[in-house]
Structure 1
Amino acid sequence: MAPQTSNNETQFVSKTQHYLKVKKPLLERQRRARMNKCLDTLKTLVAEFQGDDAILRLDKAEMLEAALVFMRKQVVAQQAPVAPLPMDSFKNGYMNAVSEISRVMACTPAMSVDVGKTVMTHLGVEFQRMLQADQQSASATATASTSQLETASRPISPASSGYHSDTEESEAAVSPKPSMWRPW
């Protein structure tokens, strides 16, 4: 006696039904996993470039907004013409000239290795001297601007701070002034 089977059990599942039931949800999970992985990578990159770990705690939408703002700032910064400082352009020109000298000496068959070594050493020493002089002038400029900021942060007159007696005492301690007689 053959077992009886119902029509539903003997029907074959079509490829479309199989895709809709099994494959499509699996593909959707894989797609979401890829998107989440890319978002995490983007989040890490933006945090590194901005130097701010706060972005790591943002949700996905906020992180994408922060990434867009960061990229727009980068595009604007790249489009803005940056005029090189005179010393920077001189250093670049100097290095280009040194490279050209090195290339010419290497291509010249009668060039002595000792002469080339001496010339390149001299050029390197002069470049280092130039860098040190530039750093010293930059530090002197920074020191001068710091002292200007300190001077500017002090009130111009004792009455400008709102605490007349406090500033009078502190200024008297710094630089004693002769007291002026006033009729009031």
Structure 2
Amino acid sequence: MAPQTETAFVSKTQHYLKVKKPLLERQRRARMNKCLDTLKTLVAEFQGDDAILRLDKAEMLEAALVFMRKQLIKQQAPVSPVPMDSFKNGYMNAVSEISRVMACTPAMSVDVGKTVMTHLGIEFQRMLQADQPQQQQQQQQSKLESSPISRPVSPASSGYHSDAEASDAAASPQPSSNPMWRPW
């Protein structure tokens, strides 16, 4: 009768190994599969490619890693200086338009025109000076050579300046002793 009592009594360790451990392992695998399916769906949505839905688990994980690395590289890519250049070009176009409007306004005072255009020229120079440290920092980070900052000259259609005067005006935005205001 001793053998019957031994089979009826099961220790906690034996119960865990026979019943609990396989149950816990099935639950763990079910959670992993659910997470893998969710990841597969998310990557397919972000990539816009449903082909990933047909991949097995290992291939899907590899595709997810490749996708995440690409996203990381996109985030770390240095911002190009194009937005600031676009802003500078837009600023110069606005200065040109202001110059044209003031030149066409009959009651416009020469002193007011000089003051406005001098202020706009000084602000443009400040913008260029503020942009230089940022460009130097980007150059150090990317270790690429960049071209020097070019100063666009306002192509004012008012007739108050010539091409020869425009190059002098870019160097010094100070008002001249001439009673006419200049659009730079």
User: In which range does the TM-score fall when normalised by the shorter chain?
Assistant: 0.3 to 0.5
Length-normalised TM-score, structure 2: 0.43
Structure with greater contact order relative to length (CA < 8 Å, sep ≥ 6): 2
- The structure where helix makes up a greater share of residues is 1
